[in-house]
Structure formats: C-alpha cells, structure tokens
Amino acid sequence: MSAIDRLFKRLRAEGRKALMPFVTAGDPDLEFTGKLVHRLARRGASMFEIGLPYSDPIADGPVIQASYTRALDRGVRLAEILAMLGRTTPEIESPVVTMGSYATVYRHGPRAFVTEAKAAGVAGAIVPDLPVEESDELAAICRAEDFSLIQLVTPTTPRDRAQRIAEQTTGFIYYVSVTGITGERNALPTALVDQVAWLREQTPLPICIGFGISRPEHVRRLAPVADGLIVGSAIVRRVAECGERSREEVLSEIERYVGGLLGELKA
C-alpha cells in the first residue's frame, strides 16, 4: 500500500477530504518552495503537487506558465528539486507527488526518475501528456516500486477511455473540472458533479478534482462528490508577489488562504 493509498484510507475512515496545494518548484527559489510546503503541511494540507518546470507546459494557464518561466530562468533543475524534496518530505506527514511533462521523465530515464523520486520521498507522479495508450512501460515501473502513477480524466474523455484510464491509474484519479487550461475561475461547469458521480461508479480509486478551484464556494460544492480538491493557480499567483512583498508576508497570506479552504472542508 503506497503513501497515497494510506492517506485516503485514513481520510475515508475519518470522513474527511483531502486538500492538495500545487506549488511550482523553484519559484521564486527552492528554499521558498520547501518553506511553503512545510507551512501548509503544518496548516493541514493533506498532500502536495509539486510542479516540475518545463518550457512548454501542456495544460497550464498563464499564471503557472509564468511561474515555470521564472524558475527556469533561475536555472532550477530536476536534481536540485529532488534534493530539496529529499530534505523536506521526511519532516512532513503529507505525501508529495510531482506534476510534469513526460519529456522530463523520458530524458532522465523512466526507471531512474521513479527510483530517484521515490528516494527523495515522492509518492507518485502526474504526467499529463502521457496517453494511457502509451503508459504501459512507466505504469509497470511504478507498480513495481509502489509509486503511484496518477492519470487524468477530463470532461471530454469518452467513457470507455475513462474506464481504461481508471484501470491503469494508481493512487488517485485526477479529474479535470473544465475543458481548457488551469486558472482561477468564478464558476465551474454545472455538469461537473454529475460527471464525477458517474466516474465514481466505475472505480474504487479516490477522485481528486483540479483546474479552476480557488473559492470557498467551489470547495463547498465539490467536497461532497470528491475525495480531494487541488488548488494551484490561486497559490502560484500569490507566490508571484514575492518580488513586491516580503517572503514572510507572502507565506502568511498563502497560509491564511489555504486555511480558509481547509475550514470549508471541515464545515
């Protein structure tokens, strides 16, 4: 049983849902990334999604794209990210997963990537541009290492393909709430709840919803049908203020923001 499996087993037994912040590794630098993860873990975040900066983001909106550019311009590299996570993960209870392009995994070597990520305390990976039809090799490596390979289902995924994705996925299914790119939104699609409810009937895997979630009302609406909620752009946008405000102010602001969303999950 992986760290993610254990987390959701515990949360389900307690009748709770997960909140997963997304943080771009190396924006504004890796020291800040580690501090932010520590602070949000202490605040109660259940799990973390760490973005691996890549020059050609797959589904990321302008806020996360800009954060990747800032990190790459500062020269952040995969080895440094894993080293930072290796120092951070032993000090928190929340599992950490990476989000990155398959180009990063392939260039590093799939087996080496999984081995080194696991050694750094990483529990799994989200690889949004790896089609399920081409995921057998990486999925086999991940299963052998008890390392979760989290795959995505979108509102336009045909139902037979969604079932195949669910069969190949380990850890949890990442359900993309909208058709399009990441970013904060005022409202989410009205059909979202029904779409997730259908998927839940097809698989015992936990389902976490991401893309566009940023407001307390989003949490209240989706918590009843999801096992977890992923919040990204709203956090990354606040991190970008490090150039205008002190880092302590930014850390405290993000901590308050995430604390408010966690309060909605507990309400």
Q: What is the mean pLDDT of residues 25-54?
A: 97
Query: Residue 204: pLDDT band by 50, 70, 90 thresholds?
Result: very high
Q: Would you say 28 and 243 are in contact if contact means Cβ atoms under 8 Å apart?
A: yes
From the candidates 5, 29, 49, 227, give the one annotated as an active-site residue.
49
Domain membership of residue 112 (yes or no) is yes
Query: Residue 55: pLDDT band by 50, 70, 90 thresholds?
Result: confident
From the candidates 5, 27, 60, 264, give the one annotated as an active-site residue.
60
pLDDT tens across 151-192, in order? 999 888 999 999 999 999 999 999 997 654 454 444 555 678
Domain membership of residue 267 (yes or no) is no
Name the residue with tokens 């993000």: 254
Domain membership of residue 84 (yes or no) is yes
**In the predicted structure, residue 212 carries a pLDDT above the cut 70:** yes
Domain membership of residue 266 (yes or no) is no
Domain membership of residue 142 (yes or no) is yes
pLDDT above 70 covers a percentage of the chain that reads 93
The helix-helix angle for 30-43 and 78-88 (nearest 10°) equals 30
For residues 165-188, one letter each, b for 16 or more C-beta atoms within 10 angstroms of the residue's C-beta and e for the rest, the string is bbeebbbbbbbbbbeebbbbbeeb
pLDDT above 90 covers a percentage of the chain that reads 76
- Cα(248)–Cα(219) distance, integer angstroms: 26
pLDDT for 82 equals 98
pLDDT for 61 equals 74
Is pLDDT larger for residue 216 or for residue 249?
A: 249
What is the count of structural domains for the chain?
A: 1
Q: Tell me if residue 29 is catalytic.
A: no
**In the predicted structure, residue 63 carries a pLDDT above the cut 60:** yes
Report the range out of 1-10, 55-64, 108-117, 231-240 with the highest average pLDDT: 108-117
Is pLDDT larger for residue 33 or for residue 189?
A: 33
Domain housing 79: 3-259
Domain membership of residue 71 (yes or no) is yes
pLDDT for 211 equals 76
Q: Collect all residues with Cβ–Cβ distance below 8 Å to 232 and sequence separation of at least 6.
A: 21, 22, 49, 51, 64, 182, 210, 211
pLDDT for 260 equals 95
Q: What is the CATH number of the domain that holds 169?
A: 3.20.20.70
Comparing C-alpha atoms, which of 60, 71, 155 is closest to residue 100? 60
pLDDT for 188 equals 52
Backbone φ, ψ for residue 110 (5° rounding): -55, -45
Q: In what order do the strands lie in the sheet with 173-176?
A: 148-150, 124-126, 96-99, 48-51, 18-24, 228-231, 207-210, 173-176, 152-153
The helix-helix angle for 247-266 and 30-43 (nearest 10°) equals 30
Q: Tell me if residue 136 is catalytic.
A: no
Domain membership of residue 265 (yes or no) is no
Alpha helices in the chain (DSSP H): 3-14, 30-43, 62-73, 78-88, 102-108, 110-119, 136-144, 159-168, 192-202, 216-222, 233-239, 247-266
Domain membership of residue 264 (yes or no) is no
Comparing C-alpha atoms, which of 186, 194, 172, 78 is closest to residue 126? 172
pLDDT for 54 equals 92
pLDDT for 267 equals 53
pLDDT for 225 equals 87
pLDDT for 203 equals 95
